[in-house]
Structure 1
């Protein structure tokens, strides 16, 4: 990566870490382990260490768990040793990269967290059009490194999300309608299996495992240490934002749903519907093209909302990396970015669904009613337009099944006071249930412990094939958590 491009504040997880080998003393009731059993290697953080509380923290402040140990792996061998150490002791394992699991599933009480966030390398082969990326790299690290050689990878907009979790669950972003999901650009993985073996999965070697890594969810089949991706040339893009008064929500929604899923595939449009108290709704998006072309392409959106006058509208053309910063909340000047190694904690409840058909008046009214009753102004529903390159892939070509969806929905609530939590969680759950007649499925990267029939919701008809792959690669469920795929 270009030196000095991103200023990073020190990672709290590094404080108190000891680069050493640990056998760790036995817990009550734990059987003795042979002295030849593997020891933990890498940067190990234990309860009582100065950096332990930082190391066990996840991005969603709702969840606080206390692992027996956290190992920050420096290479694949550290991962091998960690898996063997845990299985020898019967300790539960959690794989972790960016700490963004909505339900905090990447940490566990009294188990071992295997953290790959120190595996951050990005190696680009411009001639071959590929990049080999460490499983711990966050998206802003990836985007910046690729930008230095004029290429990119279609991925998400949150700068501190880890590339591992994003890819393994699918990976949607502002380039996806043009270039596909992140997992559609995945060529190979290096993975440590439940038995502690380092394997490669690509189109020729272990192709079923590669298929499972293309949307089958993180933490199911092994722990990935590196990804090989196809890259794409990139230069300037154009971005836009249009806002309307909240009172025009239903008219704006009608116009957006008629336009966004069927627009030029170089254009991605996101509709943000906040709580009524916020005062306005907005549409934002990005085009792989110039501003003049974007202005022409979004004209139908303006034409369809006649009678609903925008309160503001803007179009800008800029280098792609600047747009990444703008959508990621970093600002438009990469030289001024200051990125914490992980996003600051927040308290929230998010969940998801997919729309496979246009909403009628009843569905739109249900959404509007839910937003009118939101308990705080920090509640919203976000809709990401699908179609384009996402929809050209067959639903069973990768593990990600939601190819025919017109758009995804994400129901979100954020709060700062503990007293608001119960009401916000109930609001998200209530709106999700109210919308069930009009939607189906859900996105594993927006995992929600309340989703009924979750295996079918997240994986659809691909669930049975994923269960068979799980039975081959992890029949004893070494990698098991509340939403892990059960073996067939």
Structure 2
């Protein structure tokens, strides 16, 4: 039976919190569902009461679109069962399962999976938005392994979508973002082949000069477009109150440490390069990669897709952006790079709702601040610096949403926006699943 939390409950102020604590919303009700039937009843109940609906799994939406003021939040975090079909080499999960739980289960019996990095992210939002991760270049985005889904629609009906049944909805849910068409409650994915060990690695370049930072970005852009698909990583140039300027890269190689040394040779020539690695099981690797994530943060960010090589002047401008003084209250500003290519680019941009298949990587700027006393000044910093990213990138990643973005439908979905609007009209004709940047 579902548990309903209201402002009168003692637990309410904790229940309404999401991972980005810069989001501070007050829903009318939070409905914790424990079964698919609970979800069905919650939708019918909310529509009858004329409450706007938000769908929440792990609460990791960067702009807090899984919650809102005076809304009904349908929380699916307690729907977390998993079942493997060994004959078909597939597994089915309920969509409240967190990545840490999923990895522990699958990797405990030898299987990797192309999910994200943070262990408290739910599979639902990750896969519906495409799903970047350290295995993306080898296996594709998370949504590329998706075979079927179950969704509760605006009438409380449970419907199935796959390549043969409701194929247009299935297409839309592979990169169209969460909470747009209904509440997706279960997904079936194909299993990759088992792996015994992978190499989790990390390298730092401490106190780099601006020249070294430019060199790093130049090496990165040529590396990520030419590397074998078995390797992927996230790079970062950080300006923090604790450590000053620092370059850090974390990644995963489906291979041995010996192969890693050869692959990272271009980076090893940069002054100050220091490499650490662990040759371990997939589970140990993802747990190590996920251990850097805090329980929550206060942050604001903006992203774009990179589809070109940058000249020296452009790289210099990016370095200047991150070397400027941090806004007041900011503990850290970052320029982050998320590797794409490999299997991601082998899928056509119209084959799924995820449009930016031919991108080299995702470029993101962010500021992480102390608390909400500094929220507005840090939001202003992002807005002030957006043009430095906007004019050299294309679009924006739906799983890294940014509310003030103009023409968000085109920025997130490119030419796929038109088909997504048709799917929205077909499966949610009364716009029941509606939020600030939902598909209209």
Q: TM-score, normalised on structure 1?
A: 0.85
1:266 paired residue among 227, 230, 250: 230
- What's the counterpart of residue 209 of structure 1? 169
1:249 paired residue among 206, 213, 220: 213
Query: What secondary structure, in the 3-state scheme, does the structure 2 residue paired with 1:221 have?
Result: coil
Q: 1:63 to 1:418 in 2, by over 3 A?
A: closer
> Using the alignment, how far apart are the partners of 1:327 and 1:297 within structure 2?
20
1:288 paired residue among 254, 257, 273: 254
2:276 paired residue among 297, 300, 314: 314
Alignment of 1:348 with 2:299, yes or no, is yes
Paired residues of 2:22 and 2:372 also in contact (CA < 8 A)? no
> Using the alignment, how far apart are the partners of 1:387 and 1:374 within structure 2?
33
Alignment of 1:123 with 2:89, yes or no, is no
> Using the alignment, how far apart are the partners of 2:303 and 2:292 within structure 1?
25
Paired residues of 1:95 and 1:106 also in contact (CA < 8 A)? yes
By how many angstroms is 1:108 displaced?
1.9
> Using the alignment, how far apart are the partners of 1:200 and 1:467 within structure 2?
20
2:140 paired residue among 165, 180, 202: 180
Q: 1:356 to 1:450 in 2, by over 3 A?
A: same
> Using the alignment, how far apart are the partners of 1:191 and 1:142 within structure 2?
20
Runs of 4+ in 1 over 6 A off after TM superposition: none
Alignment of 1:360 with 2:360, yes or no, is no
- What's the counterpart of residue 412 of structure 1? 366
Superposition pairs of residues 390-469 of structure 1, within 5 angstroms: 390-469=344-423
Deviations, residues 173-200 of structure 1 (Å, cap 9, x unaligned): 0000000000000011110011211001
Query: What secondary structure, in the 3-state scheme, does the structure 2 residue paired with 1:378 have?
Result: strand
Paired residues of 1:67 and 1:108 also in contact (CA < 8 A)? yes
By how many angstroms is 1:297 displaced?
1.8
Q: 1:385 to 1:374 in 2, by over 3 A?
A: farther
Alignment of 1:237 with 2:203, yes or no, is no
1:151 paired residue among 85, 94, 111: 111
Paired residues of 1:238 and 1:318 also in contact (CA < 8 A)? yes
By how many angstroms is 1:448 displaced?
0.6
Paired residues of 1:391 and 1:404 also in contact (CA < 8 A)? yes
Query: What secondary structure, in the 3-state scheme, does the structure 1 residue paired with 2:225 have?
Result: helix
Alignment of 1:297 with 2:291, yes or no, is no
- What's the counterpart of residue 37 of structure 1? none
Q: Which runs of 5+ in 1 are unaligned?
A: 1-18, 20-41, 332-342
> Using the alignment, how far apart are the partners of 1:412 and 1:151 within structure 2?
33
By how many angstroms is 1:311 displaced?
4.2
Alignment of 1:87 with 2:57, yes or no, is no
Paired residues of 1:295 and 1:315 also in contact (CA < 8 A)? no
Paired residues of 1:214 and 1:398 also in contact (CA < 8 A)? yes
Q: Which runs of 5+ in 2 are unaligned?
A: none
Deviations, residues 120-163 of structure 1 (Å, cap 9, x unaligned): 11112233211111110010001001112211320100010111
Q: What RMSD over aligned residues (CA atoms) do the two structures have, in Å?
A: 1.6
Deviations, residues 263-292 of structure 1 (Å, cap 9, x unaligned): 010011321111276232122221101111
Q: How many residues align?
A: 431
